[in-house]
Structure 1
């Protein structure tokens, strides 16, 4: 295991169930990296992560990997509702959408890639369970967002990725639509792992899940509308997932 600067946070507890088989990536969404780092180590905040990555690529460890850090909150993925007990959390310093959402610097992305690679190799975390905070909590979260370079991570063996289908015209579904095609879309999203009710109604919750999918896998346009590009990219992802094993 690589050595990282230890800056302990008191905000953690016992893991409750199951193996550690997920890696959840966040952005901090605060004005400064130092302010975010300090907040994650403040007992009053009741939040933490296992690791923190600065813009210059410096990496700090806040919580031991065998402990349950408090980073994901209420969420769901692939049948798991206690995300914190099953995951490692990484906070990436970035002020987020409310702070202008700057690009993630190359040094920071390289550090995130190396850290994720180390964690996934040691803990045998499957590529399909390297996830965005928005994937597991689409109704509440949008981080690390559409500027995060998931393709770069996947090119280095971290995470699951397919080339997104080009955006074009054609049939699409949006909030207010209903019927079997919407039900099929919801079933595909649920099969991949998203927490979504397969109801046949394109409601707000469905729009939020589609937006989360787009932020991760079809980043060129995030609007919560299931256009041909979104649906075909999801299909590509499911085909690739079925051929790559657990």
Structure 2
């Protein structure tokens, strides 16, 4: 992807979906990328709300669960996504940032044997939920359910973000939870923010997590035993892998080197059979 006239396009210059929001502020020179979850039930619903004159909220991009992207605000104009916020000496991050909203229900509650969104009342299967504590929760806070992000969303976020960082020289990638702690919890513990930040910014102090397998281990094309095993697996014991993302006990890994005659194995495995490598 690339940026032309402050709009996101494909590499061949063809346009992506653009549906203008009326909630646009002054011209900005963005310095940060802010990631959010929508807490809604669909990307289309979020886009419609951001275009509703009554909403008074907007974002530059909305990324659906299938990875499709809709732009609503030019990247050189203020969108209304951050609210009361602060980072370092700056306050009111709308004036300094590009906002990306990912279609995701966010924090879920357990009710009647189901995971329920407290906002939409929609239910979600266990396979789409990660049970975890938020990093800003006080010690002793019980874990709750978090709607899982899809691999397609993560990949689309990386592609869009790289184009934005290249175009505008953005200094950092932050979550809404970073700039409004205590008030906001998005993108939440299921989003691999540290891994995404490290891949986008190439920080030397953001080392990827490296592990070794402790047993023969299948790597699959999705997060669960129902997904097909990838060619070259099972991995033998003591194979090194780099963790790219986590979805509960199922982790996405990049296998180091050639294994069983196959290079570039990237897929999902059960974390029970991985042991951290001390660095």
Same fold (TM over 0.5): yes
Unmatched 5+ stretches in structure 1 = 166-218, 221-246
Query: Which structure features the higher share of helix residues?
Result: 1
3-state SS in 1 of match to 2:94 = helix
Q: How many residues align?
A: 163
Aligned to 2:184: 141
With the length of structure 2 as denominator, give the TM-score of the two structures.
Answer: 0.54
With the length of structure 1 as denominator, give the TM-score of the two structures.
Answer: 0.61
3-state SS in 2 of match to 1:121 = helix
User: Residue 14 in 1 paired to residue 59 in 2?
Assistant: no
Q: Select the residue among 139, 151, 167 that pairs with 1:122.
A: 167
- Give the drift of 1:40: 1.2
Query: 2: distance between equivalents of 1:20 and 1:67?
Result: 9
3-state SS in 2 of match to 1:31 = coil
- Residue pairs, 1:183-198, within 5 angstroms: none
Larger Cα Rg: Structure 1 or Structure 2?
Answer: 2
Query: 2: distance between equivalents of 1:89 and 1:131?
Result: 10
User: Residue 108 in 1 paired to residue 118 in 2?
Assistant: no
Unmatched 5+ stretches in structure 2 = 10-15, 109-116, 118-144, 210-246, 249-279
1:71-116 deviation line (CA, Å, top 9, x unaligned):
0000100111020010000000001104253211101110001001
Query: Which structure features the higher share of strand residues?
Result: 2
Structure 1 pair 159–37 and aligned structure 2 pair: CA distance change class (3 A) = farther
User: Is the Cα contact below 8 Å between 2:51 and 2:58 reproduced in 1?
Assistant: yes
Query: 2: distance between equivalents of 1:26 and 1:154?
Result: 14
1:114-163 deviation line (CA, Å, top 9, x unaligned):
0011101100012xx21000100012100000100124423532476735
- Runs of 4+ in structure 1 over 6 Å off: none
